[in-house]
Amino acid sequence: MKLFQKLLLAPAALGLFAPVVANANESNFRDVTNYTQDTVEVSIDTFKPLSSKNPLLAGGEGASSNQSNNDFDVDTFSATTIAEFTSNFALATIDGENAVEQELAMVYDFEAAFSSSFTGNDSLDVVLNAGTTNGLFPELDITNQANDLQVDTVTYTNALSDRVTGFFSSGNGASGSNLYNTACVYGGVADTFSDCGVSAANVDMGFGTAAGMSFAFDNGLNVALAYEGQGMAAGEVGLLSNNGRDAGGVQVSYYGDSYGVSVSFANIDNAATGQTQSTGLNAFISPDLGSFPSVSVGFENNHDNSVTGTNNDETSHYFVGLQWDEVGDGTLGAALGSKEPSAENDAESLTMYEVFYTYNYADGITLTPFYYSKDNAGTTESETGIGVKTTFSF
């Protein structure tokens, strides 16, 4: 187009824009401002998407409602799925373990736990973990998977009624006592004290497959059943078979306002022949008396019917833990108990104790300095450990 023709089109274009400019000049901008400030109502639904095709969620919105009619894509989380992540770092040293000193070292682990509900009364839980300890600091209960993220457990739990709940689980961390309500409020550092003095009757053998049920009553009474079976091994080993190992148990617990008691019993197949019957007793009291600590105790007796004679077929295990839940911004605890179940005629009973303080450094971050000591048999020097464990939860 020639320059003269372009100049002729310019007045025509300006004529088209003139009405728009005039309308803009006639607008009442004060009313527009008042409208945005006074008449817009913002509610909880204002920013919800128009479609139920949501991006990945990890907040668990709608976990208690029935979401069977949603249209989420296959590459998204359901609105009833929540995810929790935990990572532990420990900087510690051990002195005297098997007469060998270990220098200062750091270990870590990572865990991802996913939980989904389908009916509002059930839960499918998948736990993945990874970490490396190189065999160091076994008392710190840090995962040792050589940096490989692996599935630890897959568990499905369903509330069959207001009083009855059932579950089944599979994986290296499957525990038959998932629905147990053990009467203990102590939460220390050392793995030896994590079972509150009951190491076998709580049916946590790591056989690979677990199931159980619990029955709750209005008066604070709870009854739970537990089963574990070695059904993941190759060959002819299977659940409830002669070649596999099985464990069954029952627990009765009662909780009051500031105290609780539980009694557990288990029958466990031994690795070779015979069976072990274990009976455990736990109790706690947590009085509301200012600086008075909660007190948790546990005692267990084991009878191995595969042992010939009557001198070494009985072993026992005990635990006492004190915990102050409000010391500054954290929790102070101390415990004393058996290093391991000891035979009834042992000349020397091996003991262990620990002291720890868990400090809430920030939301989702806790720092736990700790010290523990446990006896070794004979003239072997006692093992002592000291360090700091940092936990990130998000």
pLDDT of residue 234 exceeding 90 = no
pLDDT of residue 229 exceeding 70 = yes
Per-residue model confidence (pLDDT) at position 122: 93
Residue 6, classed as helix, strand or coil, is helix
pLDDT in tens, 123-135: 999 999 998 876 6
Write down the domain spans for the chain: 1-40, 53-63+71-393
Split at pLDDT 50, 70, 90, the class of 296 is very high
> Is the torsion defined by CA of 239, 153, 370, 323 positive or negative?
negative
**Distance, C-alpha 140 to centroid of its chain:** 15
Long-range contacts of 21-30 (CB under 8 A, 24+ apart): none
CATH code for the part of the protein at 53-63+71-393: 2.40.160.10
Per-residue model confidence (pLDDT) at position 264: 96
Per-residue model confidence (pLDDT) at position 33: 40
Residue position matching structure tokens 């409000």: 326
pLDDT of residue 322 exceeding 90 = yes
Measure the CA–CA gap between 390 and 92, rounded to whole angstroms.
11
Measure the CA–CA gap between 370 and 318, rounded to whole angstroms.
21
pTM over 0.85? The answer is no
Dig out the tokens for 152 from the structure: 């630890």
pLDDT in tens, 101-157: 567 888 899 999 999 999 989 999 999 999 887 667 888 878 777 777 889 999 999
Measure the CA–CA gap between 270 and 273, rounded to whole angstroms.
6
Per-residue model confidence (pLDDT) at position 102: 66
pLDDT in tens, 297-321: 999 999 888 776 656 778 888 999 9
pLDDT of residue 18 exceeding 90 = no
Nearest to 183, CA basis, from 256, 250, 258, 260:
260
